[in-house]
Structure 1
């Protein structure tokens, strides 16, 4: 018998007034698996992620993490789920009022009550894991480049050794070379932790590198789901257009909002 899914979404719907964003999303992430949700702007990728994290409540459907229903979870169950997750935000989302090491150690100190001296040692070790030296530990995040801020954000995401990692457009806002560095670091850190990972991205180079499996979201539904190795062999016209980056094709592009 195969392992139950680490994260499971079943028939998830979410609307904002008359705008139906999610219209029956079904998706599983297995233990230790990395899944990327791809799709254009406005297709519901971020809403899906926010529903899993509990930042939004679905109008309908089920979301389970380790078999526990999250859509109506108690505060204790929700906190327990968040305690075993790490998150790399799109804009790194570092706290300007804290030093680099304090940002990395935030979950250790605030979430686990760890003493600052011990948390600092762990933070510096995690910075080294993402290729940053201890000399930046006491610097302000604002003094770092965008790529360095992303790496600090990744160090913070892995500092608590989470079982689940979420990546929100991890390569947005940085150049292609630094994007590739971030992708490599995500693969390295995820594998070393043995974590399950869910990434939302429109960057196919990133999806190909960091994911075991890709799911394409379009008009609120998963319209293709399969291993990365099968993307180029797929005859799904929507996936083919998205991967090729073509304007012409079956995708209903809302060019007014791109």
Structure 2
């Protein structure tokens, strides 16, 4: 039983991430227009939506890279808006991210890219950090021989794998994936999707992925949210997405030129 007399199995779980009425503008451009979104611990959420709808700004707001103009963002129940730099570092320590395009450091070998957060964030000894980097590379299907290579010596798919190894290097409990399959052929994209799903499950992590790739969304997601014009217009289990009864979702997932999204694009 909880202190309030509610059976523990009926107690309300604090969301891992909770966004309430989050707004962000860049000059006259309103990108986020009142985002309301919750993500439960251990859940994999995929946020879909067209280019310029606010997907990347949503993730960057949670990470603290972008500071919202208004609203609340809670992580494990802790309000992050107005948080001190030290407290923000504590929150960030539990997060990992796979950036679009990999975003590897060209001047560092692969192992040091993977171990960057261990060395710079956790002040881990380089030898130990290298051992962990090789272990994480193995988890994404890359051998120890890759560790000494430069990022420029890798294919696009291998760079994505290295980026994923870096994201999981610190065993984070929250993972973010920014368009993880962009630029990859369909087979390699499916490999990356499998790796993401496997590593999220291995860590028991909470994951947020932003993508326009519906094959990726269907494989990675437990739940899906669609963002349009800076607002979340639909959320639901991934199994419900084909029966959402939402014309925006229906048009987007089927890639149709005609529909409410296109009509709004055509407005002067």
Q: TM-score range by the shorter chain?
A: over 0.9
TM-score normalised according to structure 2 size: 0.93
Gaps of 5+ in 2: 1-10
1:210 aligns with 2:220: yes
Establish whether residue 104 from structure 1 lines up as the match of residue 114 from structure 2.
yes
Q: CA deviation at 1:67?
A: 1.1
Q: CA deviation at 1:255?
A: 7.5
Report Cα offsets for 1:189-237 as digits up to 9, x if no partner: 0000000001111111111110100000001110000000000111110
Determine the C-alpha separation between the residues in 2 that align with 1:223 and 1:149: 34
Distance 1:27 1:132 in 2: 35
TM-score by structure 1 length?
A: 0.97
Q: Which residue matches 2:208?
A: 198
Task: Please say which of residues 50-59 and 141-150 is displaced more in the overlay.
Answer: 50-59
In the alignment of these two chains, the number of paired residues is: 256
Report the equivalent of 1:31: 41
2:54 aligns with 44
Structure 1 Cα separation of the partners of residues 190 and 218 of structure 2 = 11
The answer for the alignment partner of 1:174 in structure 2 is 184
Q: Distance in 2 between matches of 1:172 and 1:184?
A: 15
The partner residue of 2:174 within 155, 164, 167 is 164
Q: Could you tell me how far apart the structure 1 residues matched to 2:86 and 2:26 are? A: 28
Determine the C-alpha separation between the residues in 2 that align with 1:236 and 1:38. Answer: 14
Give RMSD over aligned pairs: 1.2
Q: Which residue of 1 aligns with 2:27?
A: 17
SS across alignment from 1:231: helix
Structure 1 segments unaligned to the other structure (5+ residues): none
State the SS of the aligned residue for 1:232. helix
**Distance in 2 between residues matched to 1:97 and 1:254, nearest whole Å:** 42
Residues of 2 paired with 1:2 and 1:143: CA distance? 49
Q: Select which of 136, 141, 149 maps to 1:126.
A: 136
Shift >6 Å, 4+ stretches = none
